[in-house]
Amino acid sequence: MVFSQEASLFSEGFKPLVTIVIPVYNGADFLAGSIQSALDQTYEAIEIIVVNDGSDDGGATECVAQSFGDAIRYFSKNNGGVSSALNLAVREMSGDFFSWLSHDDLYARDKIAKQIAFLSVCGNSHTIVYSDYSIFTDNRVSNSVPVAMPGVRPEHFRYWITAESALHGCSLLIPCSAFAAIGPFNENLRTTQDYELWFRMAARYQFVHIPQLLIGARSHANQDTNKIADLAFEEACSLYLGFVKSIELSEVPGSTPLQIGASYLRLASSLWQRGFDDAADYCASSARGCGTSLVQVIAAQLLACSARVVRRFARALFTPQARQFIRRFFARMSAFHRG
């Protein structure tokens, strides 16, 4: 991987136009809140593009979008999936930066302002920033659970998103030049198009973390990943196998073969826990090639598979609201222990 080493191109007067893109399909229930959170940004140099991806809800989604009049740029197209809606917006956008907002999520009022301020001091033209976020269920915004991202060295970023799958795409702020250099979203993918593109971009762009809660992510029963869970899992299996085969040795944390082997084994454990066995087996083989013992691999696999069973049991046993309560409890306990 080769990152640009150019100094910051930005000055104190750096005020680029930012395009906030909201793709939507049958999203009348939550779309107005999403658009309003974009309009409420404290950063003024924005345009908002809403792309209706062929909604078939009797015009309800279109009615919500058009109620905002000239405050947004509205496009309607035949249904082609979220990737095609995002790509249409990329082609039509006037901004220097791209910021995705799902129709059911919410931005903090200073999301764009804080990211632009960060870039004006710390960024260059090959920097993509991302932030922490919170998760809430349905309309229970006040009961949201914070999700803090770790600070990850850019050269290890692709390893991290493969191991953790915790990055929220709507927290990103992406220079439009990245799409010209790397390409668009893969329209053949229904549920993994975001991570596939971030992985490609991370080979040439530095992903830098801003440790602030700038996104509210809504969890609800009508999300695509809930409605087409089998397809999502099938796509993810193929995606992660491709990821682990593409990650270069220099991207794996560690300075000695044994340390690199331990990192490969941690990656295998994470993938086994989530059921991505082919990708996990590839990583386990890589760990063995770096000197990790067979006993260590077997022990890690047994622990990971046990954790997978527990995770599936918890999903079957607890409602989304109960799981959110548990997350919130542990998040508060973690904050308490940090003091």
Contact between 77 and 54 under an 8 Å Cβ cutoff? The reply is yes
pLDDT grade for 73, boundaries at 50, 70 and 90:
very high
The answer to whether residue 172 sits within a structural domain is yes
Domain containing residue 260 = 254-338
| Cα 253 to Cα 156: distance, rounded to the nearest angstrom | 7
Q: Which residue has the higher pLDDT, 226 or 184?
A: 184
Residue 212 and residue 264 in one domain = no
pLDDT grade for 165, boundaries at 50, 70 and 90:
confident
Residue 121 and residue 269 in one domain = no
The answer to whether residue 243 sits within a structural domain is no
pLDDT of 151 reads: 84
Residue 27 and residue 168 in one domain = yes
The percent of residues in the chain predicted with pLDDT above 70, rounded, is 85
Contact between 19 and 95 under an 8 Å Cβ cutoff? The reply is yes
The percent of residues in the chain predicted with pLDDT above 90, rounded, is 75
What's the chain look like in SS3? Answer: CCCCCCCCCCCCCCCCCEEEEEEECCCCCCHHHHHHHHHCCCCCCEEEEEEEECCCCCCHHHHHHHCCHHHCEEEEECCCCHHHHHHHHHHHCCCCEEEECCCCCEECCCHHHHHHHHHHHHCCCCEEEEEEEEEEECCCHHHCEEECCCCCCHHHHHHHHHHHCCCCHHHCEEECHHHHHHCCCCCCCCCCHHHHHHHHHCCCCEEEEEEEEEEEEEECCCCHHHHCHHHHHHHHHHHHHHHHHHCCHHHCCCCCHHHHHHHHHHHHHHHHHCCCHHHHHHHHHHHHHCCCCHHHHHHHHHHHHHHHHHHHHHHHHCCHHHHHHHHHHHHHHHHHHHC
Residue 187 and residue 274 in one domain = no
The answer to whether residue 234 sits within a structural domain is no
Residue 160 and residue 309 in one domain = no
The answer to whether residue 4 sits within a structural domain is no
Q: Phi then psi for 207, rounded to 5 degrees?
A: -90, 120
Say yes or no to pLDDT of 161 above 70.
yes
The answer to whether residue 8 sits within a structural domain is no
Single out the residue in 189, 212, 227 at which a domain terminates.
Answer: 227
The answer to whether residue 232 sits within a structural domain is no
pLDDT in tens, 19-58: 999 999 999 999 999 999 999 999 999 999 999 999 999 9
Task: Map tokens 């390893």 to a residue.
Answer: 159
| Cα 195 to Cα 266: distance, rounded to the nearest angstrom | 20
The answer to whether residue 311 sits within a structural domain is yes
pLDDT in tens, 212-264: 999 999 886 665 555 678 889 999 999 999 999 999 999 999 999 999 999 99
Residue 200 and residue 316 in one domain = no
pLDDT of 308 reads: 86
Residue 102 and residue 199 in one domain = yes
pLDDT of 337 reads: 41
Pick from 106, 154, 139, 196: nearest CA to 1: 154
Contact between 171 and 198 under an 8 Å Cβ cutoff? The reply is no
Show the tokens assigned to 306: 């046990």
| Cα 21 to Cα 73: distance, rounded to the nearest angstrom | 10
pLDDT in tens, 286-332: 999 999 999 999 999 999 999 888 877 766 666 555 555 555 554 45
| Cα 119 to Cα 110: distance, rounded to the nearest angstrom | 14
Q: What is the pTM of this model?
A: 0.88
Number of separate domains in the chain: 2
Pick from 252, 328, 266: nearest CA to 297: 266
Greatest mean pLDDT among 119-128, 141-150, 251-260 lies in 251-260
Residue 326 and residue 212 in one domain = no
- Tell me what the pLDDT averaged over the chain comes to: 89
Residue 85 and residue 167 in one domain = yes
pLDDT of 196 reads: 98
Residue 212 and residue 293 in one domain = no
Say yes or no to pLDDT of 335 above 50.
no
Q: What is the CATH number of the domain that holds 134?
A: 3.90.550.10
Residue 161 and residue 83 in one domain = yes
Region 170-189 average pLDDT: 97
The answer to whether residue 160 sits within a structural domain is yes
pLDDT grade for 111, boundaries at 50, 70 and 90:
very high
